[in-house]
Structure 1
Amino acid sequence: MTVQQLYPRLVVSDADAAVSFYIAAFGAELVERYTDGSGTVVHALLRAGPEVWAVKDADGIDPAPTGHGPVIMALYVDDPDAVAAAMVDHGGRVIFEVDDHPYGERGGRLADPFGHIWMIAARTEALNPDEIQSRTTAAYPGG
């Protein structure tokens, strides 16, 4: 077996609004969009840089999140402050402000208007795994 592609597929209450949000907040482009006979979006593929993800309208099989689930989307960008501001400008909500972190990243955590959580970050230092672990342990000793 060879894995050919893996991408997240986000279930939302309004796929067309989500597509518009991701275009505005992340500079994404809509690659493809398919609907069923009633116009419900069953698949909309987006691309931002080399990354792809899909959204679909919630239905009886795939319900939209009611809070936020256990998955956090990690998005590395060149300017996390600008992306976070764009998310907020288009209806996102800050969970953790963008800030510098001791493990060599600048980033924050935000919720999109559709119930999905995004970690927006940029690497600020080239650290090896031992350095990252040491700094993380020192910064967050209690877990």
Structure 2
Amino acid sequence: MTRIEQLYPRLPVRGADAAIAFYRDAFGAELVERYATPDGAVVHALLRAGPVQWAVKDGDEYDPAPPDGGGSAILALYVDDADAVAEAMLAGGAEVRFPVADQPYGERGGRLTDPFGHQWMVAQRTENLTPEEIEERTKAMFAE
């Protein structure tokens, strides 16, 4: 079997350089690499925050940016302070989809849509639960 060496999401956006600035401010991301066409359109920009990497690019006819396309994935971002990250995202223009709150499945988290149309589930683990405990709590949450 082939060995997987790396996997990261690529987010088509409207305004890749603005997205890079947003992710720097909201997540403390560093720009690892950035490549652009002669007219300045970003075709690939790799960002890193801690051990996590993702890429952005300017949307085009092949990779449309939200709301015309893309945005179908929800990115789950685990952090040490979900409230602080959500506040930083909001300060940069993100919108709350689900507010950050304590969840019965052992996390504190919420969901925000960044200014480029991508959804981020921002969460921190608050309890170490077994899969069985999570299943039980999840069923109870939806039974209400």
TM-score by length of 2: 0.95
- Residues 39 and 69 from structure 1, CA distance in 2 versus in 1: closer, same or farther, beyond 3 angstroms? closer
Amino acid corresponding to residue 38 of structure 1 in structure 2: D
Task: Report the aligned-residue RMSD.
Answer: 1.2
Match of 1:19, SS? helix
Which residue does 2:77 correspond to in 1? Answer: 75
User: How do 1:1-143 residues align onto structure 2 when only pairs under 5 Å count?
Assistant: 1-66=2-67, 69-141=71-143
For 1:81 and 1:121, locate their aligned partners in 2 and report how far apart those are by CA, in whole Å.
9
Give unmatched runs, 5+ long, in structure 1: none
TM-score by length of 1: 0.96
Give unmatched runs, 5+ long, in structure 2: none
Q: Please report how far the alpha carbon of residue 76 of structure 1 lies from its aligned counterpart in structure 2 after TM superposition.
A: 0.3
Amino acid corresponding to residue 21 of structure 2 in structure 1: S
Percent same amino acid at aligned positions?
63
For 1:107 and 1:48, locate their aligned partners in 2 and report how far apart those are by CA, in whole Å.
18
Match of 1:140, SS? helix
Q: Please report how far the alpha carbon of residue 77 of structure 1 lies from its aligned counterpart in structure 2 after TM superposition.
A: 0.3
For 1:70 and 1:33, locate their aligned partners in 2 and report how far apart those are by CA, in whole Å.
24
Amino acid corresponding to residue 66 of structure 2 in structure 1: P
